[in-house]
Amino acid sequence: MTPETVISIGEHALVITSIVAAPLLLSALVSGVVIGMLQAATQINEMTLSFIPKLLALVATIFVTGHWMLQTLIDYTRSLFESIPGLLG
């Protein structure tokens, strides 16, 4: 196995990780900005007001995109396992 192969596998793993994490990060970002604007407008500085909606947004995102995220990870793992004989020989 050459160093280029190892770098390619690592790069592909990072891309898959970024793709899978993107929906969760985007939903937390959007809900955080909306709640932050609401807190700024009403001058309410309660920590649970920002934490609970973010948590609910993440749970909803997992329910909506969880199957896709799991399938993406399974496909990557399957292709990685299938490529092992070609990488060794």
Residue percentage of the chain with pLDDT more than 70: 99
Q: What is the pTM of this model?
A: 0.81
Under 8 Å between Cβ of 41 and 71:
no
Residue percentage of the chain with pLDDT more than 90: 70
Q: Tell me, what's the pLDDT at 46?
A: 80
φ, ψ at 43 (rounded to 5°): 60, 35
Q: Which residue has the higher pLDDT, 49 or 64?
A: 64
Residue spans per domain, the chain: 25-88
Q: Mind listing the pLDDT tens digit for each residue in 22-34?
A: 999 999 999 999 9
Query: What tokens does 35 get?
Result: 């709640």
